[in-house]
Structure 1
């Protein structure tokens, strides 16, 4: 049974244009799945649907094999967290890091006070940030450090699944590698399932077991990441693979 699944989902924009057409995608316990495609292919719409922030025109969002309802929303919210693309706009500049990372604990009613502070400190430590981070503000950190803070916020409540929406696209090459390594470590140490949305196939190759290829709102190919990258079947996927930058031979 999948932990989180979109089954046969279609979605239309307000003016009626079809954004997704009969899309099915599932992430199992401890699994890492990459969702790739060009800008405008529908990746961000899938993230919104998988977070239950939008309703499909048809099809279902399933959590632990059952539809997400008002009765199951609390458990769903505690189990599924997200990391957004931009580490600059995703953190409130007016709040200290202690308050930012503790937000899921407050909103989900998990912990407050000293208990919350202990959990926040441990979560920051898990992403390589010291306890003195707590009293500082987002503007005092680099983009890579901010994304680590965002990951700490997403994982402080010990979710089972992390939706990572282009988590490294705004970072430089060295920092991208560090954040990908961090996500891999969290997956290994905490058994965290990950759905990584990206147009960067090199990032997906470093983290994901399975890859799903999306084009114009439809899934055109899926399979083991190694197979997708080494022997893509669809012309669209081949174009994506060929677009990955490669160093010239020495």
Structure 2
């Protein structure tokens, strides 16, 4: 049983087709990279996977159940289990709220924990991403970009989700910090069995994090398979062009 699935999905925006017959499944503990040029449909797929939009055709399924945005009980289970990490950690954190409030927001909005239990889970999440307890009493502007992204990841994992959906989650970071955040995501996956869907224009990030890669072009899946095979023996001319553009990738 897949945790999350797009089944023959089509999506249009302003009378323009954005996705056409896209099928992607995410199994427990699996990590998937979504790659392709700008406008290929990667971020739209993440919006559908987050339940922020509905497909024109086909279906989005959570634990083999069609996602129905009107079903409050289903959506509560879904939003507990599926959490996002966005590209810009500063804009995703409320500058007026202390970190303990920001990280604990999913617990409050989903009704998962209150009081001492909520405080303990927030402290656990902050420790899990390698930050000190005094982080909780400070504000977003007091941290570096890498630290803010760790805080954003803490907020994503505080509900103990089963799937993380990451949209260019390391692209705004410098090279050293990027490596550190990639290592953090690798560790969290090992320790908690998280599934990960990573949208990235950087194939070296996908190579480091993803078991399987889906290549998109003009809203269609043109190739999918194990990441190492995609990067070392791509089957389509378009994928070969993407791989050739990153000379440091393993051959």
Give the TM-score category using the shorter length. over 0.9
- Counterparts of 1:86 and 1:239 in 2: how far apart (Å)? 28
- Counterparts of 2:79 and 2:90 in 1: how far apart (Å)? 23
CA RMSD of aligned residues (A): 1.0
- Counterparts of 2:52 and 2:109 in 1: how far apart (Å)? 16
**Could you list the per-position Cα deviations for residues 28-61 of structure 1 after superposition, in whole angstroms to 9, with x for gaps in the alignment?**
0010111111111111100110111101100000
- Counterparts of 2:177 and 2:96 in 1: how far apart (Å)? 25
2:139 aligns to what?
137
Residues 115-126 of structure 1: matches in 2 within 5 Å?
115-126=117-128
TM-fit CA distance, 1:246: 3.2
1:68 aligns to what?
67
Is the aligned partner of 1:17 residue 2:16?
Answer: yes
Residues 148-167 of structure 1: matches in 2 within 5 Å?
148-167=150-169
- Counterparts of 1:145 and 1:245 in 2: how far apart (Å)? 29
1:59 aligns to what?
58
TM-fit CA distance, 1:242: 1.0
**Could you list the per-position Cα deviations for residues 134-166 of structure 1 after superposition, in whole angstroms to 9, with x for gaps in the alignment?**
010000000000000000000001000000111
Moved more, 85-94 or 123-132: 85-94
- Counterparts of 1:9 and 1:195 in 2: how far apart (Å)? 17
- Counterparts of 1:143 and 1:46 in 2: how far apart (Å)? 26
SS in 2 for 1:170: coil
| Equivalent residues, number | 246
SS in 2 for 1:12: strand
User: Which stretches of structure 1, 4 residues or more, deviate above 3 A after TM superposition?
Assistant: none
TM-fit CA distance, 1:113: 1.8
- Counterparts of 1:80 and 1:28 in 2: how far apart (Å)? 13
Q: 2:112 is matched with which residue: 85, 110, 113?
A: 110
Residues 206-245 of structure 1: matches in 2 within 5 Å?
206-245=208-247
TM-fit CA distance, 1:245: 4.5
**Could you list the per-position Cα deviations for residues 214-239 of structure 1 after superposition, in whole angstroms to 9, with x for gaps in the alignment?**
11101000000000000111111111
Residues 71-82 of structure 1: matches in 2 within 5 Å?
71-82=73-84
TM-fit CA distance, 1:88: 1.6
- Counterparts of 1:245 and 1:203 in 2: how far apart (Å)? 14
- Counterparts of 2:216 and 2:173 in 1: how far apart (Å)? 23
**Could you list the per-position Cα deviations for residues 97-129 of structure 1 after superposition, in whole angstroms to 9, with x for gaps in the alignment?**
000000000001011222111110110000000
- Counterparts of 2:54 and 2:112 in 1: how far apart (Å)? 27
Which structure 1 residue ranges, 5 or more long, are not aligned?
none
Which structure 2 residue ranges, 5 or more long, are not aligned?
none
- Counterparts of 1:114 and 1:135 in 2: how far apart (Å)? 16
2:2 aligns to what?
2
- Counterparts of 1:160 and 1:193 in 2: how far apart (Å)? 6
